[in-house]
Structure 1
Amino acid sequence: MLRRLWRSTFGVVALVAIGFAAATLAIGAIAYIVTHEALEKQLDHRVSVETDALLQEVKEGGIASVAESIRLREATRTTSSLDYLLVDKAGRSIAATVTPLVPVRAGYEEFFRFRRDGYTGIGQSLTTALPGGMLVVIADRRDLKEIDRTLEILFAGALGAMLALGVGAAALIGWLTRRRLARIDATAKAIIAGDLAQRVARDGSESEFDQLAATLNQMLDRMAALMDNLRQVSSDVAHDLRTPLTRLCNQLERASTGQDDDERVDAIHAARDQANELLEIFAALLRIAEVEGLAERRALAPVDLSALLDEMVDTYRPDFEAADRRLVAAISTGLQVRGDRRLLAQAVSNLLENALRHTPAGTTATLSASGSGEAIDVELADDGPGVPSHEADRLFQRFARAEASRTTAGHGLGLALVRAVAVGHGGDAILSRSTGGFAVSLRLTRSH
């Protein structure tokens, strides 16, 4: 039961309130004891001072003088006055304001019972032996008992108020917490039921619950984006693989029904080429999935990006020249990133392959890289025809291809892999120019 109570908001606040109440009780008990002892010492001090004064009278005038002083004090008695008892050696009363109900013994007596005019009380007393008798000075404890009772009432009230406030606060906080959590729970149930557009309501207070709602909404937005991406990928795969699969089936049909051996061999070779193309598509999709899943982050290490880009330029420049195109480099030195060298090389290779495949003869492509603060920008720009603006926004999607490139080889996965590599390295890839040429820019984080 206690374990379940501790796990609820009401239980936590209630236990804290009980702790505060226990602390109040302990403080009250200590205060009560200290106050009680201080009052008792005050009574003892008062009795002692009065006894010394009367003993001084004994020295000056004897017992008769003390008896006269007791009678005078009785005549002027108030509710706060001390009580006195003077007896001879035989125990007979010489002068007294009270009648003792306990034996008279020398020394301090904390609970000296007495009677005065029908009132029975208890006092703190000091009994002193005198020549020819005994002197008892008594301080009534009635006022002390009233003070004790008042303190007890105050402490009990404070304890009750603390418990009441604690339980009330626990109930209020528990209700508020359950109310806010109920909204989150209702949103979660709606999403489970299929309404993926639901979001946790925010109140703009920037409180802990409001910030939690914002975080959950960001998570839901991310999940929705991933689901949209999954649906898009599924649709793209179904659409873009239909053509090569159809061609594969046609080639296999041709091979199975062909009458001529050469014709069957040609059909089988064509079918094998179609199968290889499908395998390449699936390999590219798996590679993109691996990069987007950040599986490659385990291999991140310092990479000399400047040296890598210089190597890529040296590797591809002959291909550009053979295709009647020109490759220019504008790479700053000393650019360092933390990443996977193989993936970065793959991303740059995809950009260069695109430039070779989708630009006309005579095009100049420029691979540039520069650093600004903590960021490094790598850009491949060409002065080719570019792409229409309405097609530019979707070029980083899987299987997305500009209309002009439909007749060239490729599957529309190159730029998707480029962006996946950039995002996997904590950056991004954007289309920095689509008209008056074509340019793709990768932003990476500098490594120190």
Structure 2
Amino acid sequence: MKLLASFSFRLALLYATLFTLSVSILLALFYWISIRRPIEQVEASLAAESARFEMLYREQGAQALVVKLERRATLPAPRQAYHALIAPDGTVLATNLPSWPPEPNLRWLRIEADIYRDGEEYDHEALVLDRRLPDGARLMIGRDVQDIDDLDEGIRVGALWLMPVMALLVIAGGGLMSRAIGRRIDAVGATARRVMAGDLSERIPVRGSGDDIDRLGETLNAMLERIEASVESVRRVSDNVAHELRTPLTRLQAELNALQAASPERKAALIESANDEAERLGRMFDAVLRISRIEAQRHQPEMREVNISALIEDAADYHAPQAEERGLILDTQVERDLATVGDRDLLFQAVSNLIDNAIKFTPPGGRIALSASRADDGIALRVADTGPGIPSEHREKVIERFFRAPAAEPVPGFGLGLSLVAAVAKLHGSSLRFGDAAPGLAVEWTLPARSG
């Protein structure tokens, strides 16, 4: 029962059954074409001849039929002709058959018609149609079918040898197929068990053949990579959150402890400071959760056509007072009627984060250049500032949550702004690049343009 429960065994059994059935059908078809069809052709020819001879007998009598039968026996033909005409009283009027049944069978007969040549006997067999004529006479006509019988015997002997060989081949082939499939399924199971044991780096071996099991392995490997990345992301976020919480929680605890001995005026200041710290922590958690939801694709984006030109102008207008307050020039050059398909709220927040990031790190009197234009691969959006920029060795890390370059330490923030931008870009199937604005940082974001 355990063997029958095996998928690979059942598949091999199905293969063996289909193979055997296919070979049997081919053998039956070959037998019909080689044996049955020629026999049927001989039978049809003899039936037609018998009908003509009966008509001749009725119209011209026995003597005319005897002449016809004897002439038929001497005519060259692919098959030797045989006959016997017996009168109603049992007198043999004409024959070249060595023997026949004493009583008419009114059906097809097989009669031995051995031939003697040069003192040697050669086995021959005739297919004979035995019929009774209207006046009681008996007419038998036939043809030599020894060649068909020889072929029939050869096919039967060959089949007797072929069947055991075919059975062995089917069993061997089915066993090999069962083992091959079983090994590959076992490899998938072994990988799954190692992953369950905690090794998320394990992957299912793929042969590169492109078959069903390979495609399944590739899909499962992609799933494992996603799981590993998610678990690593959770671990990294947990470590980062724990690290980021240590200082504000310590500060919050110190402020709460100071409340016990503080004067009324001092208490109000400490409570306000503690409240600000709590709000700051709340904003940090909100940002972390939003990034996590986007990266895990639990956020259901409202994908629709978005006018990127108008969105960028709105974001620039929103941050214009902030830039003016810091003494910055916010230069906007946006091509009209640029459109993409995406979630407008997420896109607005991502663009807003880029502008806010540039404002934070650009010293007073600096310039922020915001541009968007059509490109061969979509819509090219660029935000460049004249701040300190990001060293090349840190550019790949700036999208990691809580990462802050040394130059960013004096600037308030959590290190989450560019992480959110990267998550939104990935959600929209777009690319984000960081370059040198000489001086400052240039962020280039290529969005897919709306088709049509």
TM-score by length of 2: 0.80
Alignment of 1:134-153 (within 5 A): 136-139=140-143, 145-153=149-157
2:54·2:133 contact (CA, 8 Å) conserved in 1?
no
Paired with 1:104 and 1:206, the residues of 2 have a C-alpha distance of 70
CA offset digits 1:208-262 (Å, max 9, x no partner): 555554454444333333332222111100101111111111112122x225222
Q: CA 1:416/1:81 → structure 2, altered by over 3 Å: closer, same or farther?
A: closer
Instruction: Give yes or no for the alignment of 1:23 onto 2:25.
Output: yes
C-alpha separation in 2, matches of 1:50 and 1:148: 30
Q: Which structure 2 residues correspond to residues 316-335 of structure 1 after superposition, within 5 A?
A: 316-335=319-338
List per-residue Cα deviations over 1:313-338 (Å, max 9, x = no partner).
Answer: 22322321221111101211121011
Query: Which among 158, 164, 174 is matched to residue 170 of structure 1?
Result: 174
User: In structure 1, what is the Cα distance between the partners aligned to 2:188 and 2:352?
Assistant: 47
Letter of the 1:247 partner, please give it: R
Kept after mapping to 2: 8 A contact 1:102/1:114: no
Which segments of 5 or more consecutive residues in structure 2 lack a partner in the other structure? 116-122
Describe the shift of the 1:50–1:283 C-alpha distance in structure 2 as closer, same or farther (beyond 3 A).
Answer: same
Give 1:281's match in structure 2, choosing from 265, 284, 308. Answer: 284
Alpha-carbon offset, residue 109 of structure 1: 3.7
CA distance 1:142–1:50, shift in 2 (3 Å): farther
Amino acid at match of 1:222: R
The answer for the alignment partner of 1:90 in structure 2 is 89
Aligned equivalent of 1:201, options 201, 205, 219: 205
User: Aligned letter for 2:109?
Assistant: F
Check 1:345–1:120 CA distance in 2 against 1; reply closer, same or farther (3 A cut): closer
Structure 1, unaligned runs of 5 or more: 75-79
Return the alpha-carbon distance in structure 1 between the equivalents of residues 209 and 313 of structure 2.
53
Paired residues, number: 434
Q: CA deviation at 1:204?
A: 4.9
Structure-2 residue corresponding to 1:183: 187
Q: 1:442, CA displacement in angstroms?
A: 1.8
- Cα gap change, 1:254/1:81 in structure 2, threshold over 3 Å: closer, same or farther? same
Q: Which of 19, 32, 37 pairs up with 1:34? A: 37
2:120 alignment partner in structure 1 = none
SS in 1 for 2:447: strand
Q: How far 1:207 moved relative to its partner? A: 5.3
Matches within 5 A, 1:61-76: none
| 3-state SS, counterpart of residue 413 of structure 2 | coil
> Structure 1 residues 155 and 53, CA, compared in 2 at 3 Å: closer, same or farther?
farther
1:110 to 104, 108, 111: 108
Conserved 8 A contact 2:104-2:132: no
**How far apart are the structure 2 equivalents of 1:290 and 1:183?**
34
**Which residue of structure 2 aligns with residue 101 of structure 1?**
101
Bigger shift: residues 327-336 or 215-224: 215-224
Q: Does 1:125 pair with 2:132? A: no
Partner of residue 118, structure 2: none
Structure 1 counterpart of 2:244: 240
| Match for residue 345 of structure 2 among 342, 347, 353 | 342
Equivalent AA in structure 1 for residue 330 of structure 2: L
Q: 2 CA distance for matches of 1:314 and 1:132?
A: 121
Provide closer, same or farther for how the CA distance between residues 95 and 347 of structure 1 changes in structure 2, counting only shifts above 3 A. Answer: closer
- Distance (Å, rounded) in 2 between the aligned partners of 1:176 and 1:216: 20
Task: Sort the Cα spacing of 1:436 and 1:211 in 2 relative to 1 into closer, same or farther, 3 A.
Answer: farther
Match of 2:241, as an amino acid? V
SS for the counterpart of 1:294 is: coil
2:13 matches 1:11: yes
* 1:101-141 Cα shifts (integer Å, max 9, x gaps): 33248xx6423779999x99885135576999765445577
How far apart are the structure 1 equivalents of 2:136 and 2:20? Answer: 62
Shift of 1:435: 6.0
- Identical amino acids, percent of aligned pairs: 29
2:268 aligns with one of 265, 268, 277: 265
- Residue 368 of structure 1 and its aligned partner are, at CA, apart by 1.0
Judged with a 3 Å threshold, the aligned counterparts in structure 2 of structure 1 residues 346 and 327 are, in CA distance, closer, same or farther, namely: same
User: C-alpha distance in 2, partners of 1:285/1:316?
Assistant: 23
Judging changes above 3 Å, is the alpha-carbon distance between structure 1 residues 390 and 88 closer, same or farther for their aligned structure 2 residues? closer
Amino acid at match of 1:242: R
Amino acid paired to 1:417: L
Q: Which amino acid is the alignment partner of residue 348 of structure 2?
A: A
CA contact (8 A) 2:353 2:418 kept: yes
**Structure 1 residues 426 and 261 mapped into 2: Cα distance closer, same or farther (>3 Å)?**
same
Deviation at 1:383, TM superposition (A): 1.5
**Alpha-carbon distance change, 369 to 90 in structure 1, aligned in 2, over 3 angstroms:** same
Please give the alpha-carbon distance, in whole angstroms, between the structure 2 residues aligned to 1:15 and 1:6: 15
Partner of 1:77: none
Q: For structure 1, which segment, 413-422 or 265-274, has the greater mean C-alpha deviation from structure 2 after superposition? A: 265-274
Answer with 181-190 or 123-132: which moved more: 123-132
- The verdict on how the C-alpha distance between 1:93 and 1:434 changes in structure 2, with shifts beyond 3 A counting, is same
Larger CA deviation: 416-425 vs 197-206: 197-206
Contact 1:99 1:116 survives alignment (8 Å)? no
Match of 2:382 in 1: 379
Contact 1:50 1:137 in 2 (8 A): no
| Structure 1 pair 362–185 and aligned structure 2 pair: CA distance change class (3 A) | same
Q: Could you say what secondary structure the match of 1:329 adopts? A: strand
Aligned in 2, Cα 1:300/1:125: closer, same or farther, shift over 3 Å?
Answer: closer
Deviations 1:190-210 (A, max 9, x none): 222222333333445555555
Q: Which amino acid aligns with 2:248?
A: P
Match of 1:445 in 2: 448
Structure 2 match to 1:420: 423
- Out of 391, 402, 407, the position equivalent to 2:405 is 402
Aligned-partner residue type, residue 410 of structure 1? G
Q: TM-score, length-normalised on structure 1?
A: 0.81
Contact 1:44 1:124 in 2 (8 A): no
